[in-house]
């Protein structure tokens, strides 16, 4: 495990190579470098997993220290990693899914002039993300956290010549800064409280020093969660994620679906001990997660942009993950994180394939009937949709159901009801998407229809692999069967302290099997209902949605305009801030600071011009200067 550093180092090397020489290297080579780096990183990660599995379950905890980064007095921050089952899962997801998306990008970005730049950013992202998940202290994690934020900004604004893209990049960056501010405050408070930023040390100290529900721990966890809200797009900081769809589609798949946005969930799970000590924060996380899940799903119902629907769906699914963590089912949250990475990456890549085929068209109103023309994309997309809708035996079924089940078990009846409703909405909007895109009459403009083509192999193969994962990914955690919870057993040691604090799985009160089975039935039934409703509305009677929209015009308008949240922020936050900034700029900056700075600069320059004249270039002048200096100095010393 000492060599764990190669995992983030490989993509970073790829970034350096492509970033420095990318423009001069042949295109093929650029792609090879980027994908090769990710592929090797995935192999290294697999090897690490193999080594990890050799250990006893409680011994799966390594902290390879590479060097001491900062040491000031007692304060010490090491650059070191934390390899345990939790970070292992994340590493595998990031490198595995990341590798597939890199390969896919070769086909997708083939004609883009910014090809090397794209791969350089993508590799940099992977490297930063790996640093984030492998960090063993909050500061190194924060470095990765900021790194992925930077890459996200760069990649959203990848087509910076497009006004909307660069605006979206800016929006993502600024909204994330708000979250990061909270996160940073959380780090400060942690350091102030514990005198350390190392996870292990923090948790050990917290368990000893604080009783459950202590205000300090609540404060820390809430502040850290603010960071998670920004990065993982939760209410009220979710607004950047739908706009982030301006970036290239593989980017949306990698960063804004599979990996980066799940960083918040990972962080909460990583700090499970702290959260377990703060029941209030847990409740808050669960509530925000559940609300976001339903809220975003409802907006997703009426959006017409294929990627935006998926974006809202991502926001909604992230809500489920937080719900899981919030009710203490960290394993379920991480499990959903993993399966979501598979099927949401698949859905985005499928959407990318559709967009690619239609020469950039994203409006589902102008698609339709693509089933026969894009058979591979269609088949894989439907599999992804079944997975996200939670149909047995797809991956999403197992993970979402576990979250719902745990929510109910922890006694949150209301949240369970809401989340179940959200699951129905999910099934509905996903199949609305499927039906409008792949079935029915073609509504494409004839020019685009002429060019429709199935994805090239570099794009199709990743789709198929991800589709297979979306089907099988859930089988590592089958409830009710002896030995079925492989994934849970793997992760349990990480959450051992947290579960003990929460009194979960005490052993005595294991829920009866029939209840579990019944609840599964309910979930599947709700999902199927959603699908059938979508079938009824969009396949059998295509006029029905229009009528419904007219009938419930007001509700439709609210949904269509995303509850006017963007407009609300614009009016209450952005505009007043802009105004304040403008007047500050005019009065303080222009007059005062610029005046002072420019004045200093020009004063120094003119001074410099005078002083340099002393430098005549004549030796006797120089000697004179030495002599004069010597005389002054001698007089000075002797006079003292």
Partner 1 sequence: MEQVMSSISLSAIAPELVLVACGLIVLMIQAVFGSRFRDSFAYVSLLGIGGAAFLVLTSPGAFESKIVEYSFCDMWVVDNFSRFFKLIFLIGTGLTLLISLRYLDNEAMQHSEYYALMLLCTVGMMVMASAAELITIFLGVELMSISLYALAGYTRSRMMSNEAAIKYFILGSFASGFLIYGIALIYGTTGTSQIPAIARYLAQAGAGAAVLVMGMALLIIGFGFKTASVPFHMWAPDVYEGAPAPVTGFMSAGPKAAAFAAFVRIFMEALPTLQTDWIMVIWLIAVLTMTVGNIIALVQENIKRMLAYSSIAHAGYVLVAFLAAGELGLTSILYYMLAYTFMNIGAFAVITMLAGAGETRVKVEDYRGVGYKHPVAALAMSLFLFSLAGIPPTGGFMGKFYIFSAAVKQGYIWLAIIGVLNSVVSVYYYLRVTVAMYMQAPEKDEDVPAASALSPALVVAIFISAYGVLSLGLFPSTYVAMVKESFLSFL
In angstroms, what is the minimal distance from the CB of 315 to partner 1? Answer: 36
CB proximity list for 194: less than 8 A, separation 6 or greater: 201, 202, 205, 206
* Nearer CB in complex with partner 1: 87/127: 127
In angstroms, what is the minimal distance from the CB of 620 to partner 1? Answer: 9
In angstroms, what is the minimal distance from the CB of 121 to partner 1? Answer: 16
Out of 3, 57, 71, 557, the residue judged to bind partner 1 by CB under 8 A: 71
The DSSP symbol for 158 reads S
In angstroms, what is the minimal distance from the CB of 40 to partner 1? Answer: 23
CB proximity list for 412: less than 8 A, separation 6 or greater: 286, 327
* Nearer CB in complex with partner 1: 208/614: 614
Under rule CB under 8 A, residue 638 binds partner 1: yes
In angstroms, what is the minimal distance from the CB of 149 to partner 1? Answer: 19
* Nearer CB in complex with partner 1: 571/628: 628
Distance CA(289)–CA(283), nearest Å, equals: 10
Q: List the one residue out of 156, 149, 160, 164 whose CA is nearest residue 247.
A: 156
Q: List the one residue out of 351, 289, 350, 355 whose CA is nearest residue 317.
A: 289
Under rule CB under 8 A, residue 639 binds partner 1: no
Out of 68, 365, 570, 583, the residue judged to bind partner 1 by CB under 8 A: 68
Query: What is the largest distance, in Å, between two alpha-carbon atoms of the chain?
Result: 106
Distance CA(268)–CA(293), nearest Å, equals: 17
* Nearer CB in complex with partner 1: 508/619: 619
Q: List the one residue out of 576, 580, 577 whose CA is nearest residue 588.
A: 580
Instruction: Looking at residues 304 to 363 of the shown chain, list those that interact with partner 1 (rule: CB under 8 A).
Output: none
In angstroms, what is the minimal distance from the CB of 598 to partner 1? Answer: 12
* Nearer CB in complex with partner 1: 16/565: 16
Whether residue 236 is preceded by a cis peptide bond, meaning omega within 30 degrees of 0, is yes
Q: What are the backbone dihedrals phi and psi of residue 301, each rounded to the nearest 5 degrees, phi first? A: -60, -35
Distance CA(499)–CA(489), nearest Å, equals: 13
What residues pair up with 78 in beta bridges, in sequence order? 68
Residues in contact with partner 1, shown as a per-residue x/- string from 21 to 40 under the rule CB under 8 A: x-------------------
CB proximity list for 303: less than 8 A, separation 6 or greater: 309, 312, 560
- Segment contacting partner 1 (CB under 8 A): 65-73, 174-182, 440-448, 481-489? 65-73
In angstroms, what is the minimal distance from the CB of 601 to partner 1? Answer: 7
Please measure the distance between the N-terminal and C-terminal CA atoms of the chain and give it in whole angstroms.
Answer: 65
- Segment contacting partner 1 (CB under 8 A): 231-239, 251-259, 378-386, 631-639? 631-639
Which conformational region is residue 257 in: left (phi greater than 0), alpha (psi within -120 to 50 degrees), or beta?
alpha
* Nearer CB in complex with partner 1: 12/431: 12
Instruction: Looking at residues 507 to 536 of the shown chain, list those that interact with partner 1 (rule: CB under 8 A).
Output: none
In angstroms, what is the minimal distance from the CB of 81 to partner 1? Answer: 17
Helix (H) or strand (E) holding 69: strand 65-72
In angstroms, what is the minimal distance from the CB of 109 to partner 1? Answer: 22
Under rule CB under 8 A, residue 75 binds partner 1: no
Out of 20, 414, 513, 518, the residue judged to bind partner 1 by CB under 8 A: 20
In angstroms, what is the minimal distance from the CB of 70 to partner 1? Answer: 9
CB proximity list for 509: less than 8 A, separation 6 or greater: none
Residues in contact with partner 1, shown as a per-residue x/- string from 585 to 604 under the rule CB under 8 A: ----------------x--x
* Nearer CB in complex with partner 1: 22/179: 22
Out of 532, 563, 564, 622, the residue judged to bind partner 1 by CB under 8 A: 622
Helices then strands (H, E): number in the chain? 29, 2
* Nearer CB in complex with partner 1: 546/634: 634
Under rule CB under 8 A, residue 626 binds partner 1: yes
Distances in Å between the alpha carbon of 243 and those of 309, 311, 446?
11, 9, 28
- Segment contacting partner 1 (CB under 8 A): 112-120, 217-225, 338-346, 625-633? 625-633
Cβ atoms of 232 and 257 within 8 Å: the answer is: no
Cβ atoms of 369 and 442 within 8 Å: the answer is: yes
In angstroms, what is the minimal distance from the CB of 625 to partner 1? Answer: 5
* Nearer CB in complex with partner 1: 2/482: 2
Under rule CB under 8 A, residue 619 binds partner 1: yes
Number of residues that make up the chain:
640
* Nearer CB in complex with partner 1: 70/546: 70
In angstroms, what is the minimal distance from the CB of 637 to partner 1? Answer: 4
| 582-591 per-residue burial string, b: 16 or more CB within 10 A, e: under 16 | eeeeeeeeee
CB proximity list for 93: less than 8 A, separation 6 or greater: 258, 259, 337, 338, 341
Out of 67, 111, 447, 481, the residue judged to bind partner 1 by CB under 8 A: 67
Q: What are the backbone dihedrals phi and psi of residue 135, each rounded to the nearest 5 degrees, phi first? A: -60, 145
Chain contacts with partner 1 (rule: CB under 8 A) = 20-21, 67-69, 71, 601, 604-605, 607-609, 611-612, 614-615, 617, 619, 621-623, 625-626, 628-630, 633-634, 636-638, 640
């Amino acid at each position: 495990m000492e060599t764990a550093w190669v995992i983030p180092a490989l993509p970073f090397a790829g970034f350096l190579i492509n970033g420095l020489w990318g423009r001069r290297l042949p295109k093929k080579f650029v792609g090879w470098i980027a994908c090769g780096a990710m592929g090797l990183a995935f192999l290294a990660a697999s090897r690490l997993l193999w080594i990890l599995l050799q250990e006893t379950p409680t011994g799966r905890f390594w902290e390879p220290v590479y060097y001491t980064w900062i040491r000031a007095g007692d304060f010490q921050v090491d650059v070191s990693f934390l390899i345990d089952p939790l970070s292992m899962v994340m590493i595998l997801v990031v490198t595995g899914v990341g590798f597939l998306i890199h390969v896919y990008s070769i086909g997708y970005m083939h004609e883009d002039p910014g090809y090397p730049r794209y791969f350089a950013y993508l590799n940099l992202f992977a490297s930063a993300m790996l640093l984030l998940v492998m960090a063993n202290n909050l500061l190194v994690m924060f470095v990765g956290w900021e790194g992925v934020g930077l890459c996200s900004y760069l990649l959203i604004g990848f087509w910076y010549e497009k006004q909307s893209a660069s605006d979206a990049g800016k929006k993502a960056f600024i909204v994330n800064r708000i979250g990061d501010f909270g996160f940073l405050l959380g780090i400060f408070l942690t350091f102030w409280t514990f005198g350390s930023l190392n996870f292990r040390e923090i948790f050990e100290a917290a368990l000893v020093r604080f009783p459950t529900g202590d205000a300090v721990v609540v404060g820390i966890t809430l502040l850290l969660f603010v960071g998670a809200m920004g990065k993982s797009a939760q209410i009220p900081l979710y607004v950047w994620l739908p706009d982030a769809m301006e970036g290239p589609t593989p980017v949306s798949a990698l960063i804004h679906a599979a990996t980066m946005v799940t960083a918040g969930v990972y962080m909460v799970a990583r700090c499970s001990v702290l959260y377990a000590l703060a029941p209030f924060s847990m409740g808050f996380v669960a509530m925000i997660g559940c609300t976001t899940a339903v809220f975003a799903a409802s907006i997703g119902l009426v959006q017409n942009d294929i990627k935006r629907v998926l974006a809202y769906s991502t926001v909604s699914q992230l809500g489920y993950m937080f719900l899981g963590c919030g009710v203490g089912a960290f394993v379920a949250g991480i499990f959903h994180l993993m399966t979501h990475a598979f099927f949401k990456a698949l859905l985005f890549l499928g959407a990318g394939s559709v967009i690619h085929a239609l020469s950039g068209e994203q409006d589902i109103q102008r698609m339709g009937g693509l089933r026969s023309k894009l058979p591979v994309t269609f088949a894989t997309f439907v599999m992804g949709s079944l997975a996200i809708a939670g149909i047995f035996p797809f991956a999403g079924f197992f993970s979402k159901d576990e979250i719902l089940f745990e929510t109910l078990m922890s006694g949150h009846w209301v949240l369970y009801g809401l989340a179940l409703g959200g699951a129905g909405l999910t099934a509905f909007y996903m199949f609305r998407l499927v039906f409008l895109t792949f079935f029915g009459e073609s509504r494409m403009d004839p020019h685009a229809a002429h060019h429709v083509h199935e994805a090239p192999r570099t794009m199709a193969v990743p789709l198929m692999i991800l589709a297979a994962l979306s089907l099988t990914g859930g089988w590592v955690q089958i409830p009710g069967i002896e030995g079925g919870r492989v994934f849970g057993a793997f992760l349990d040691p990480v959450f051992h302290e947290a579960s003990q604090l929460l009194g979960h799985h005490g052993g005595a009160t294991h829920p009866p099997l029939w209840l579990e089975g019944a609840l599964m039935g309910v979930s599947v039934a709700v999902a199927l209902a959603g699908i059938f409703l979508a079938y009824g509305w969009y396949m059998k009677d295509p006029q029905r949605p229009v009528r419904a929209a007219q009938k419930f015009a007001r509700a439709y308008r609210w949904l269509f305009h995303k509850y006017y949240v963007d407009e609300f922020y614009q009016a209450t936050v952005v505009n007043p801030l802009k105004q304040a900034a403008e007047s500050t700029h005019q009065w303080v900056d222009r007059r005062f600071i610029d005046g002072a700075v420019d004045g200093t600069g020009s004063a120094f320059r003119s001074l410099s011009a005078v002083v340099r004249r002393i430098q005549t270039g004549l030796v006797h002048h120089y000697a004179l200067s030495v002599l004069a200096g010597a005389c002054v100095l001698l007089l000075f010393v002797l006079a003292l």
